[in-house]
Chain A
Amino acid sequence: MGWLTGALAWLADGAHWQGADGVPQRLLEHVGLSAAAVGIGCLVALPLGLWLGHVRRGGAFAVATGNLARAVPTFAVLVLLALAPSPFGLGTTSTLTALVLFAVPPLLTNAYVGVLEVDPAAVDAARGMGLTSSQVLRRVELPLAVPLVMNGVRLAAVQVVATATIAALVAGGGLGRIIVEGFGRQDQAQLLAGAFLVLALALAVEGGMELLQRRVDPLRRARGRQRVAADAHLDVRSGSS
């Protein structure tokens, strides 16, 4: 178990928690970039997904996006953008673009399915009460789709945190940098310490998003446990990193 004590000793060393390549700085880079990517992804994908679900069109498009994202290696996209001409190339723009690209499919698919699966009787009743098309979307379909929309946000966040780790192999900062530098120096203690930090962040994001998912569901008390969201977990998961 020498490797474990080595990693713990690395983490306990105060020198590794300071400066431009210290753990707090790397964590900040990782979280900042991931949050920006999920935020931009939401702005792009959620309106589109909700609208496609509302007009009940583009199902094949949403599904194809998800399937294609699963087949495209995140690492390859990161490298392709890093070698691409300006405004891409080695730098934050490329990393952020790649992260947004992989955040979009789970957001899009879940938002689409979320609206699509709203009970048609509820929509009919709303129409019968004289609500306009956009009112139906905002006041009926959107609240009912929240569990799946949030499921998409959670999947996107987990996906983006994992991809941001791989970005360190290419050019990016973040906690993955600690792992990659550990490999470069053949310093097993450092690369394992980095891996533990990445693992802790990923689990914290997953846990935090699950909490958020439960908190923001407007109907959670009325409905009890969200079986739909839990079961849809894997079916609409896409991308792999």
Chain B
Amino acid sequence: MKQGRGKWWQLFLSFCKVSPVTFGGGFAVLPLIEKEILHRRQWMDEREFGEATAIAQSIPGAIAVNVAMVIGYRLAGMVGVLWATVGIVLPAFAIVLLMCLGFYHIHTWNWVNGALEGVKAAVVALIVYAAIRMGKSALCDKWTWVIMGGAVVGLLFLHVHPLLVMVAGALTGMGFASGKRVLAALRQSESE
């Protein structure tokens, strides 16, 4: 751990710089953060950064913000977490807020609505693309496919609350793991 190498205001500035260009969400942002933290500031090495992203992915929240938090913690403790978070969130928030303010004015322009119609079609593709990318690691066997299919059916036809579906998925995962353990134990006792 390379504690104390980054001052909190340097952390703040670094993530402030990354924040406004974090277009395309999640994984598009990681290379930008990597460039700033690893190559420019040289606060971390590849291994530490890899661990930080792994942790960031296993807690709830936006991956870019989580990575900033974990890096902030690693470099400057609690103060680092706070300033890294403010740094990564604030500029993007300001831009979105300006968009909110502006949108109600330009909403009546014809070409804006035309453009939005086109982008809507692109967003569908973006969502599908995100699902494909995540699927490469998450859909690792037939059971994960079954869980995924079950989720879609539950949401689409049974109108189950999305959060309930997530809880059910987590429980299923735990059930599977303990089921596998029981099976393995049974097999072992049979062979003995």
* A and B form one complex: no
CB within 8 Å of B: which residues of A? none
CB within 8 Å of A: which residues of B? none
